[in-house]
Structure 1
Amino acid sequence: MTRSLRARLFIGLTAIILLAGCVGGVFAYIWAFDEAIEMQDSILIQLGSLLQNGSVKSEQSLRGVDADAQVDVVELGTAPRGSAEERQLWSFQDGLHLASRQGGSMRVLLRTRPDGSRFAVAQRTAIRDEIARNMALRTLLPIAALIPCLLLVTALVIARSLRPMVRLAEDLDARRADDTTPLPLAGTPSELHAFIASMNGLLERMTLMMDQQRRFVADAAHELRTPITALSLQAENLAPVDLPAEARERLAALSEGMRRTKHLLEQLLALARHEAGPCSEAAVVPLDRTVKDLVADLLPDAARKGIDLGFEMIEPVATRGEPVMIAAMIRNLIDNAVRFTPRGGRVDIGVYREGNDAIIQIEDTGPGIPSGDIDRIFEPFFRGSRPSEEGTGLGLSIVKRTVDRLEGSVLLKNISGAEQTGLRATVRLPAADESRV
């Protein structure tokens, strides 16, 4: 059984139209058939009246009546005579009767003239029925032509009536995962208002739940940052101490774990700040200077891996936004490129203006992103399908949210060629007037 509301409506209305058309066609056929029979009786009566009054002679009538109707005039005289069929006709009273003549059923009209002579106007019932059927069938042609037109109109009306539901579904599909804006009631059919109200209630409950989750994450990250920082300081204080090799390895593992935990907490706090809304008024941010400062901070990490981190192109360009958020967004992209680029690789950065857009492009020689992960790479806590990958799964989510808030776009594209493989991240932001920095 079909689950489509559109199909069920169309099938139901089609069945009703076909049933109504068939029932109406049967009644129209019967009515038209009876009317055609009565019309032919009227013709016989008119011919009888003309012959009775002497307006038409019987010889003229035999030649003047429509040949397809096969109407015959039988003179019976003033007394019974002739064949048994003619004597039988004489025995009938004036009027319409059914009789047998020449081995077939006939419809006859008996009339008596003023001089006492009688005559019969006869027509074969088979001819009458054939003429009536043809006329009745012609009355069915408009109904037969109307049914396909009604089916087409029904399909169009159903499609148009369900279009608000399709638009509503398209609106929901086009939304971001965190967009809980209530669905509009304006311009929608009243039958959908209860459904939309229920959806808006669900979205409101989801908003409250997401707010509670954000507050919990922010509070937990804030509370954990202090003890983790204290532990990191204690581990740093142990660095000058003369320790056995095994203890030194364990201390290094502990320091690396705390570094990763601290980085996770910073990312969680950054994500909470993004989802809570803008914290300060937007300012003009010089992207070239910001990227230079970030590259200088990450150069030691790149040097330890033997990675060539530098600029392929850098031009003075600025955008408008919150400096801390923009710096965190760019740092995440560069940090990802350095982290996933193998030893001896290269990370090239470009900062330039293209029309009304400020472009930040970061290209590495790493493994790129698996094709199955590219559609989910901006989801929070998604770390990809490679088991060897490290990270919190929040960096690219923060990048996406920051870029969306700045009304820009970010594109990640794998580089696959004979000479180089890797990943190219391109961020487009609305350019601002740098003279106002």
Structure 2
Amino acid sequence: MIRSLRGRLFVSLTAVVLLTGLAGGVFAHRWAFDEAIETQDSVLIQIAGLVQSGGLTGAQDLHGVDEDAEVWLIELGKTPQGTPEERQLWRLQDGMRDAARKGKPVRVVLRTRSDGSRFAVAQSTGVRDEIAGDMAFRTVLPIAALIPCLMLVIAFVVAGSLRPMVHLADELDARPADDMTALPLRDLPSELNPFVSSINGLLRRVHEMMEQQRRFIADAAHELRTPLTALSLQAENLDRVELPPAARERLAVLRQGMRRSKHLLEQLLALARHDATPPDRAPGEVMELDRAARGVIADLLQEAISRDIDLGFDRAESVLVCGAFVMFTAMIRNLIDNALRFTPEGGKIDVAIYQDGATAVLQIEDTGPGVAADEIGRIFEPFFRGQRPEGDGVGLGLSIVKRIVDRLGGTIEAANVIEPRRTGLRVVVKFPAAGT
């Protein structure tokens, strides 16, 4: 079963053209064949009239009529004579008849002169059919040649008619996931207007649902932050109280859980802030990408040193990009924080910033275990932590990075580092360089 609308239209119209061409070809062939037979009958009658008037005399082959026509003039005399076939011809009445000559079927015209002598003008039936068939084939040949041309025209017409739908699908595919603006109705066939209107209605409802979700996340995170901060302060006050070792262990677990919850709330608030700003309203200041990275590395360097992780630049060029400084800082912090979380003690994290033509490139590579091959395509999904969750992460850091990169008009790719005696994850982020 053909699922493509273009395929259905092409097959249906081609079938109509083929059936119509076949029926027309059969009719034209039959009509041309009969006309050719009647034309040859008329030629035989004209030759017979010429002989009867005295223009031709004596039994002979009339090659002057047509070299391949095999027309003969047969003198039958006033009484039956000659071969049995000629005597049989003499007994027939005047007119157009079917007979035989030399054992082969012929078409003859019998006539009687005024002196009583008779003659016949004969033509081989096989030759007549061959001539008629050739003429009929020449008549059908243009129709047969026209059918492929019509099929080609149908293909172009179908493709041109469906081109607006293809453009509409390409426009939808090229849109970011959070772009809910209505599709334009201009320059579209009227048949597509109800379809596009329904899509716009769906986009509007999805946008409203996403806005409700964003407001709920932001409100919930904001409301939970205050009591969580109070609990954290109370837990810190317990450090000054003399507690048994078991209580100390339970207090440590409690504080770890509160730190994780606080980190989750901060990430949720950051996610809500980035989602609340439409892409076309994102600030467009020109800034130095390497300066933002240096600030983040300086903030996280102490944590890296405490875990004996070599954090630093592998390549640092001055590259200008367009966007908000705080957004680039948040993106780089989440990327390096993710690398710190998965890099073991004694490992290494290399940061590279450089310009490749009109593209600014940020690359962060660690020496951690990498990501499972079946999970690497999902690491930018919210709350996805994979099979090897580490530390207090909640699975939102890389999701926030992906949102920021999309809003800044960049691309991000993650790939495992597979080298002898080394593993890790390499994340490459690309942005249009400012002023190019």
Judged with a 3 Å threshold, the aligned counterparts in structure 2 of structure 1 residues 103 and 306 are, in CA distance, closer, same or farther, namely closer
Alignment correspondent of 1:5: 5
Judged with a 3 Å threshold, the aligned counterparts in structure 2 of structure 1 residues 131 and 347 are, in CA distance, closer, same or farther, namely closer
Q: Conserved in 2, the CA contact under 8 Å of 1:406 and 1:430?
A: no
Judged with a 3 Å threshold, the aligned counterparts in structure 2 of structure 1 residues 227 and 118 are, in CA distance, closer, same or farther, namely same
In 2, the alpha carbon distance for the partners of 1:313 and 1:14 equals 62
Shift of 1:7: 3.2
Judged with a 3 Å threshold, the aligned counterparts in structure 2 of structure 1 residues 247 and 133 are, in CA distance, closer, same or farther, namely same
In 2, the alpha carbon distance for the partners of 1:287 and 1:7 equals 50
Judged with a 3 Å threshold, the aligned counterparts in structure 2 of structure 1 residues 101 and 216 are, in CA distance, closer, same or farther, namely same
Alignment correspondent of 1:166: 166
Indicate the SS of the match to 1:342. coil
Alignment correspondent of 2:121: 121
In 1, the alpha carbon distance for the partners of 2:295 and 2:92 equals 124
Judged with a 3 Å threshold, the aligned counterparts in structure 2 of structure 1 residues 291 and 257 are, in CA distance, closer, same or farther, namely same
Indicate the SS of the match to 1:28. helix
Q: Deviations over 1:207-251 (max 9, x none)?
A: 111111111111111111111111111111112222111111111
Residue 417, structure 1, aligned to residue 416, structure 2: no
Indicate the SS of the match to 2:350. strand
Q: Conserved in 2, the CA contact under 8 Å of 1:366 and 1:421?
A: yes
Shift of 1:262: 0.9
Indicate the SS of the match to 2:177. coil
Alignment correspondent of 1:403: 405
Q: Deviations over 1:53-105 (max 9, x none)?
A: 2222235665645464332223344x444367656655655432334566554
Structure 2 length as normaliser, TM-score?
0.86
Q: Deviations over 1:23-78 (max 9, x none)?
A: 2222122112111111111111121122122222235665645464332223344x
Could you tell me which amino acid in structure 1 is paired with residue 326 of structure 2?
A: V
Indicate the SS of the match to 1:239. helix
Paired residue total: 432
In 2, the alpha carbon distance for the partners of 1:131 and 1:314 equals 88
**After the TM superposition, which of the residue ranges 389-398 and 328-337 deviates more from structure 2?**
389-398
Residue 22, structure 1, aligned to residue 10, structure 2: no
Unaligned runs of 5+ in 1: none
Structure 1 length as normaliser, TM-score?
0.86
**After the TM superposition, which of the residue ranges 282-291 and 207-216 deviates more from structure 2?**
282-291
Alignment correspondent of 1:308: 310
In 2, the alpha carbon distance for the partners of 1:26 and 1:283 equals 75
CA RMSD of aligned residues (A): 3.1
Judged with a 3 Å threshold, the aligned counterparts in structure 2 of structure 1 residues 93 and 324 are, in CA distance, closer, same or farther, namely same
Alignment of 1:21-420 (within 5 A): 21-59=21-59, 62=62, 64-66=64-66, 68-77=68-77, 79-82=78-81, 89=89, 94-99=94-99, 105-277=105-277, 281-314=283-316, 319-351=321-353, 359-387=361-389, 391-420=393-422
Q: Conserved in 2, the CA contact under 8 Å of 1:62 and 1:71?
A: yes
Could you tell me which amino acid in structure 1 is paired with residue 23 of structure 2?
A: V
Q: Deviations over 1:133-189 (max 9, x none)?
A: 333234333333333443344344434433443333333333332222333334443
Shift of 1:413: 3.5
Could you tell me which amino acid in structure 2 is paired with residue 412 of structure 1?
A: A
In 1, the alpha carbon distance for the partners of 2:126 and 2:68 equals 12
Indicate the SS of the match to 2:425. strand
Q: Conserved in 2, the CA contact under 8 Å of 1:340 and 1:367?
A: yes
Q: Deviations over 1:103-135 (max 9, x none)?
A: 554432233445554322223434433432333
Could you tell me which amino acid in structure 2 is paired with residue 263 of structure 1?
A: H
In 1, the alpha carbon distance for the partners of 2:234 and 2:108 equals 127
In 1, the alpha carbon distance for the partners of 2:151 and 2:196 equals 30
Shift of 1:318: 5.2
Judged with a 3 Å threshold, the aligned counterparts in structure 2 of structure 1 residues 289 and 28 are, in CA distance, closer, same or farther, namely closer
In 1, the alpha carbon distance for the partners of 2:285 and 2:151 equals 61
Could you tell me which amino acid in structure 2 is paired with residue 410 of structure 1?
A: I
- Percent identity (aligned): 62
Judged with a 3 Å threshold, the aligned counterparts in structure 2 of structure 1 residues 130 and 156 are, in CA distance, closer, same or farther, namely same
Shift of 1:283: 4.3
Could you tell me which amino acid in structure 1 is paired with residue 397 of structure 2?
A: G
**After the TM superposition, which of the residue ranges 24-33 and 173-182 deviates more from structure 2?**
173-182
Q: Conserved in 1, the CA contact under 8 Å of 2:28 and 2:139?
A: yes
Shift of 1:16: 2.3
In 2, the alpha carbon distance for the partners of 1:74 and 1:409 equals 95
Q: Conserved in 2, the CA contact under 8 Å of 1:51 and 1:58?
A: no
Q: Conserved in 1, the CA contact under 8 Å of 2:317 and 2:353?
A: yes
Indicate the SS of the match to 1:46. helix
Indicate the SS of the match to 1:378. coil
**After the TM superposition, which of the residue ranges 160-169 and 329-338 deviates more from structure 2?**
160-169
Shift of 1:199: 1.6
Unaligned runs of 5+ in 2: none
Q: Conserved in 1, the CA contact under 8 Å of 2:32 and 2:139?
A: yes
In 2, the alpha carbon distance for the partners of 1:335 and 1:276 equals 24
Q: Conserved in 2, the CA contact under 8 Å of 1:383 and 1:389?
A: no
